[in-house]
Chains A and B, each alone.
Chain A
Amino acid sequence: MDRIDMHRLKQGEVNLGTSIMAVQFDGGVVIGADSRTTTGSYIANRVTDKLTFLHDRIYCCRSGSAADTQAIADFGHYYLQMQAQVLGSAPSVLTAAAIMEKMCYQNKDQLSAGIIVAGWDEKAGPSVYNIPLGGGLFRQPWAIGGSGSTYVYGYCDATYQEGWGKDETVNFVKNTLALAMSRDGSSGGCIRMCVITKDGVERKFIPGDQLPRFWEGKEILGEATQKPPAAISAVSDVAPMAVEV
């Protein structure tokens, strides 16, 4: 009884089972994430913001244990502030990604954290770096992560084209996350996106009822997936919820 089992503590941690992604386009990057944080089967937070500020034009998306990723992101933010002060200019995305990777790798026995770092800097332009569970660093034009990402690798491979502009990239991120959220139990809620360009960071929010909808099995489930008749919606101005059988 005098010993505390750290492994059991880790199992009960608040988990960012999640869908995160980042895509690079010509003038910047688009990063996006779902908004669900779970503790076991309880959704601890259904409007989480998983897009974390590291520096003015550098953001990271977090997946894995919420506590671990918050600690790493805090230290990354602290380090980049010091770096910016010493250099006198904004740090590069590679610097940010490298510091996150160092921390993930050197603490690999104690942490479970998968991070995607993305942003824009003067030297390299837009870049996306994927740091999966073991602490490797991989630069890619687009990166997906989290538990929901396994369901959408095929969709991303089939759909991604180089040379897209901002709107097509935003659409790609929106569709991918919506598909991941509809199949993964630990992802859901709404979609939060950031578009990072040289001129600034623009946040986008897509509420849960405006997500793009794909095949929902109308042929099998029939009437139940249709919206309720107009009479109800005429009475009150609350949007009726589709009922599932």
Chain B
Amino acid sequence: MDPSFRIVPGSAPKAASVAQTSNSLGLHDTLRYGPRTIATEVKTEGTLKDRLQNWEETQDNLKLTMMRNTHGLHAPMRILMERNIVGVNPHMSLLPQTNLQLDILMGRDESIEPVDVFAGPLNGPPLDIRHDMEKKHRI
């Protein structure tokens, strides 16, 4: 948790710049860092994508910061600890899983959202279980 009053996600900085990879002559150092790609230096994705992806997290962070200011330094830590406790799931199933306790703590137990309707598996029953597991746990 980052103690910040940001209401709306800020724009992320540019990915890379020549200054970071320059050698003593001021040019991009190909020997050390590989060929130069302009794609990493130019920000091609719009700000809208970052804004939408980080939206929920930013709102949650704002509420936690306000809680920190009113109730004390311990308050956001306790809330996050409770979420971690109920969020841990020993099952390694690839089937869609629901976590009612986490929904209650996050305050979405009494609402129906598009994710509840559309969150079925995209490709039907898993054909290659090992590959899917690797992707899920990012090995």
Q: Is this pair of chains taken from one and the same complex?
A: yes
How many B residues touch A, CB cutoff 8 Å?
18
Is B8 interfacial (CB-CB < 8 Å)? yes
A79 and B67 CA atoms in complex are apart in Å by: 9
Please tell me if the beta carbons of B5 and A6 are within 8 angstroms of each other in the complex: no
Please tell me if the beta carbons of A3 and B5 are within 8 angstroms of each other in the complex: no
How many A residues touch B, CB cutoff 8 Å?
20
- The interface stretch among A44-52, A106-114, A146-154 is A106-114
Q: Which listed residue (B8, B10, B11, B46) contacts A2, Cβ 8 A?
A: B46
A4 and B48 CA atoms in complex are apart in Å by: 6
Q: Which listed residue (B4, B45, B67) contacts A106, Cβ 8 A?
A: B4
Is A156 interfacial (CB-CB < 8 Å)? no
Please tell me if the beta carbons of A79 and B4 are within 8 angstroms of each other in the complex: no
Q: What residues on A are CB-neighbors of B7 within 8 Å?
A: 71-72, 75, 103, 107, 110-111
Q: What residues on A are CB-neighbors of B36 within 8 Å?
A: none
Is A239 interfacial (CB-CB < 8 Å)? no
Q: What residues on B are CB-neighbors of A83 within 8 Å?
A: 70
Interface SS of A by simple majority: helix
Q: Which listed residue (A2, A4, A71, A82) contacts B66, Cβ 8 A?
A: A82
Shortest B18–chain A CB gap in Å is: 24
Is A86 interfacial (CB-CB < 8 Å)? yes
Q: What residues on A are CB-neighbors of B47 within 8 Å?
A: 4, 6
Shortest A137–chain B CB gap in Å is: 14
Q: What residues on B are CB-neighbors of A103 within 8 Å?
A: 5, 7
Q: What residues on B are CB-neighbors of A203 within 8 Å?
A: none
Q: What residues on B are CB-neighbors of A79 within 8 Å?
A: 66, 69-70
Please tell me if the beta carbons of A109 and B10 are within 8 angstroms of each other in the complex: yes
Q: What residues on B are CB-neighbors of A5 within 8 Å?
A: 46
